[in-house]
Amino acid sequence: MNAQPQASLHIAGRFVEGEGRALDVLYPYTGERIASLQEASVEQVAHACAIAAQAQPAWAALAPSDRGRVLTRAAAIIRDRNAELSRLETLDTGKPIQETLVADWESGAQALEFFGGLAASLTGQMIPLGQDWAYTRREALGVCAGIGAWNYPSQIACWKAAPALVMGNAMVFKPSEETPLGALKLAEILSEAGLPDGVFNVVQGGGDVGAALTTDPHVAKVSLTGSVPTGRRVYAAAAEGMRHVTMELGGKSPLIVFEDASLEDAVSAAMLANFYSSGQICSNGTRVFLQEGIREMFLDRLAERARHIRMGDPLDPDTQHGPIVSARQADKIRTMIAEGERAGARLLCGGAGEGAFIPPTVFVDATDDMTITRDEIFGPVMTALTFYDEEEVVTRANATGFGLAAGVFTQDLTRAHRVAAALEAGTCWINAYNLTPVQMPFGGVKMSGIGRENSAAAIEHYSQLKSVYVGMGGVEAPY
């Protein structure tokens, strides 16, 4: 299988070869090399940022609706090419084609379409002050650095590029070195849609390239999707230059199922919240709190349904569960599973698996203080916990440093909203899980992050306000 791009980087509207280390791209299912890339050198990172800084003012000077049109055109191109792009996403990530066809580039297209449509309504505020008045201008920040994780590489690139570009910023994007291919396609598609050269650039490499981007003097903002430890480092480095940040980091989110919940829906949600994308989703509800009265029925049904999940070749449209993105990541997950067993939790189903595959895994008889309950695993591993009443479960759900997401299943209307209000999380779902429509802000509280992606709220994180005071009379002075 060959997924070799024209070249490794995309700078100033052109593919250019990297001058850094070699970067092999492996298909997670077979381990076969599907592309050989070259990382960007430090000089190339600086060059990409300088090019973006040069291109940005003219882009920002366009009428917002002209910028928006480029984004909506890009969304249409993505939809036309969805089949081919989704196949590439599957090769890059190992995620089943039945997922990538509907979830990855499609979500990216929705972001481009949404922010493209928002362009014409980007306005400031007029503030009457009697005779004088003031107004605000919402202005671009300049050059934004985007740094992505490997689980939804193309979606992440689009979620960052769309609000940044519509506001008149330029972007230099670095995908994860595990999944470098989708961002290059986005650069190509944006060019085809009419984006001026240099406004969106892609560099490749690992943490050192990310670090060079974060501290480049041209960069005014860093938007990272990644783990909490990386987030801490990037946030600290960005602070040196007083740069703006958006941090979309990890989680260990609670999903609370009360006795009155619809059993089948709650089981469906818990499976989606733990096994979709082989569990490699930041907002996953990996701590499933089951009220005593529903516990046995829930676990029986869960074990039964988990048995029927089809694992296998990600390119087979019937496959529901693909491999883990890399051998290194699979090892990390296996270490966590072994740690759970060692600590005395019991496997209801699943376990270590073989090779690139880790089957849907559920731990029961776990306690809140076990490592599997406390730490993000980022694999298909659910921990089921038992609770008795609402106050207790809310306290336990919030007893974590993370705060990305949370879910509650109940038919009791007032309890649903009361619990959603009490949960310390950036996103709460009631009788649903992991749905992230572009209209809804998405992001974390506590250690899970800063800032919001999606929705009009994202615009605030890619712009700054200028206040203009207009004196309409003479100047009064005491001198």
Q: Which residues are catalytic?
A: 248
CA nearest 112: which of 83, 74, 141, 138? 74
Nearer to ligand NDP, 194 or 217 (CB): 217
CB of 307 to ligand NDP, least distance (A): 27
Closest CA to 226 of 207, 254, 205: 207
List the interface residues with ligand NDP, window 50-89 (CB under 6 A): none
> What's the closest the beta carbon of residue 160 comes to ligand NDP, in angstroms?
10
Query: What is the C-alpha to C-alpha distance for residues 397 and 253, in angstroms, rounded to an integer?
Result: 8
233 is a contact residue toward ligand NDP (CB under 6 A)? yes
Order of strands across the sheet that contains 132-140: 126-129, 132-140, 463-470
Site for ligand NDP contains 163 (CB under 6 A)? no
Look at residue 229 and give its three-state secondary structure. helix
Virtual CA dihedral for 392, 398, 401, 402, nearest 10 degrees? Answer: 140
Helices (H), 361-452: 371-374, 390-398, 413-422
- Rounded to whole angstroms, how far apart are CA atoms 155 and 138? 26
Residues 6+ positions from 316 with CB-CB distance below 8 Å? 96, 97
Pairwise CA distance, residues 109 & 114, whole Å? 8
Candidate ranges 48-56, 228-236, 257-265, 392-400; the one touching ligand NDP (CB under 6 A) = 228-236
Q: Which of residues 238-257 bind ligand NDP (CB under 6 A)?
A: 248-251
CB-nearer residue toward ligand NDP: 390 or 453: 453
Distance between CA atoms of residues 236 and 231, nearest Å: 8
**207 interacts with ligand NDP by CB under 6 A:** yes
**Sole window of 45-53, 62-70, 126-134, 226-234 interacting with ligand NDP (rule: CB under 6 A):** 226-234
Does residue 230 interact with ligand NDP by CB under 6 A?
Answer: yes
**Contact call for residue 223 and ligand NDP (CB under 6 A):** no
Structure tokens at 325: 């993105």
Over the window 256 to 295, marking each residue x when it contacts ligand NDP by CB under 6 A and - when it does not, the resulting string is: --------------------------x-------------
Binding piece for ligand NDP, criterion CB under 6 A, among 50-58, 105-113, 220-228, 353-361: 220-228
Q: Per-residue b/e over 202-219, b at no fewer than 16 CB within 10 Å?
A: bbbbebebbbbbbbbebb
Q: Which of residues 380-399 bind ligand NDP (CB under 6 A)?
A: none
The interface region with ligand NDP, picked from 87-95, 203-211, 307-315, 354-362 by CB under 6 A, is 203-211
Tokens of 245: 């940040």
Nearer to ligand NDP, 214 or 320 (CB): 214
Exposed, middle or buried: residue 369 (CB in 10 Å: 0-12, 13-18, 19+)? exposed
Does position 111 interact with ligand NDP (CB under 6 A)? The reply is no
Is there binding between residue 148 and ligand NDP (CB under 6 A)? yes
Nearest distance, CB of residue 263 and ligand NDP, angstroms: 29
Tell me the chain's radius of gyration from C-alpha atoms. Answer: 23
**Whether 156 contacts 103, CB under 8 Å:** no
Q: For ligand NDP, how many residues bind (rule: CB under 6 A)? A: 30
| Neighbour tally for 354: CB within 10 Å | 9
Q: Could you tell me if 259 and 289 are in contact, meaning their C-beta atoms sit under 8 angstroms apart?
A: no
Task: Say whether residue 206 binds ligand NDP (CB under 6 A).
Answer: yes
Residue nearest to ligand NDP (CB): 210
Tell me the closest approach of the beta carbon of residue 389 to ligand NDP, in angstroms. 30
Among 64, 108, 146, 210, binds ligand NDP (CB under 6 A): 210
The residue among 144 and 149 lying less far from ligand NDP, judged by its C-beta, is 149
Residues belonging to the chain: 479
Instruction: Kindly state whether residue 177 participates in binding ligand NDP, applying the rule CB under 6 A.
Output: yes
Scanning 24-32, 79-87, 207-215, 269-277 for contacts with ligand NDP by CB under 6 A, the matching segment is 207-215
Please select the residue that binds ligand NDP; options are 164, 372, 404, 447, rule is CB under 6 A: 404
Give the binding site for ligand NDP (CB under 6 A).
Answer: 147-151, 174, 176-177, 206-207, 210-211, 214, 224-227, 230, 233-234, 248-251, 282, 376, 378, 404, 444, 449
